[in-house]
Chain A
Amino acid sequence: MPRVRVAVTLKPSLLDSAGRTVADSLTKLGFDELQGCRIGKIIDLDVESFDEARIKEMCDRLLANPVIEDYRIEGVIG
């Protein structure tokens, strides 16, 4: 059974407050090279067979909110 991975991320124009908080913490740990940090979601879907159009439909209808998020179908990962 193929496992399909989808990555959902906040649109670049929006402030990711959680990512900023994590970045602050990494900086405090001494990672001075850090320029930014953004947090997204990985969603793994186990499907009978990989049909990209159907996965896209899942993203459009529920998994991502186009007002605030972008998504990327990364393909079959296992």
Chain B
Amino acid sequence: MRIAVLKFPGSNCDQDAYHALRDDLGIQADYVWQDETSLAGFDGVFVPGGFSYGDYLRCGAMASRSPVMDEVRRFAREGRPVIGACNGFQVLCESGILPGALLRNVHEKFVCQDVYLRAETRRSPWTEAVDRIVRIPIAHGEGRYVADAEAVKRLEDQDQIAFRYVNAVGELDQDSNVNGSTDAIAGVLNEQGNVLGLMPHPERASRAALGSTDGLTILKAFELVSA
């Protein structure tokens, strides 16, 4: 198992992802610059957070049109594990790999705090090991997930909602939905379930020194898929 950690101009969570995978999970990971046209030799992809292209035009807009994304589309189609966290989620939505979009937080504030997440499905490797409410940090200004009613219904019907923002005991409430996302959606899957996009940062919750190891329950998918 060898994971490509993508780098765009303005990525800033690429090293967090790299070290979480290599040092905390013991998975081989290597950086891949956005201009690469082949992901041959890789088995999965981590699209990291940050402010690719300075968030110009729309968050993730330019990054999602970079050459390497054709390969990410191929990985998505072929059922290989792909995760996008924070800006990575925005990139996956902008590229059309995941449905919906991320808009400015409803209160217009940048939020940097821990959140509690509830896995809403077990059918994906990304949620398979998440057997409890997990505590994972967020840090974003534009994380309000939106999709129209029809699209949300499709997400529900096809079991594509991966995570919702909840309180510490796993209940939905208004305060826990920190950015005003539609139906408190924190993360979504593609139809096959091999691609996850989420605003929280599992790579920042990968060892005790960071305050939580809950992120590993999500990142473990890379191991589950290869096993």
Closest to B149 in A: A13
Given the interface pairs A17-B108, A21-B108, the reply to whether A65 lies near B61 with Cβ below 8 Å is: yes
Q: Are A63 and B57 in contact (CB under 8 A)?
A: yes
Q: Are A14 and B94 in contact (CB under 8 A)?
A: no
Pairs of residues from A and B, 8 with the lowest C-beta to C-beta distance, nearest first: A67-B101, A68-B101, A17-B104, A17-B108, A21-B108, A17-B106, A65-B58, A65-B101
With A and B bound together, what is the CA distance between A14 and B58 in angstroms?
15
Interface flags, B94-121, vs A, CB<8A=1, else 0: 1000011101111110000000000000
Say what secondary structure dominates the interface of chain A. Answer: mixed
Interface flags, A55-66, vs B, CB<8A=1, else 0: 000000111010
Q: Are A17 and B58 in contact (CB under 8 A)?
A: no
Say what secondary structure dominates the interface of chain B. Answer: loop
Q: Which residues of A are in contact with B by a Cβ distance under 8 Å?
A: 10, 13-15, 17-18, 21, 41, 61-63, 65, 67-68
Q: Are B146 and A68 in contact (CB under 8 A)?
A: yes
Counting chain B residues whose Cβ lies within 8 A of the other chain, the interface size class is 20 to 34
Which residues of A lie under 8 Å from residue B108 when comparing CB positions? 17-18, 21
Could you say which of A13, A14, A17 contacts B105, with CB atoms under 8 Å apart? A17
Q: Are A18 and B101 in contact (CB under 8 A)?
A: no
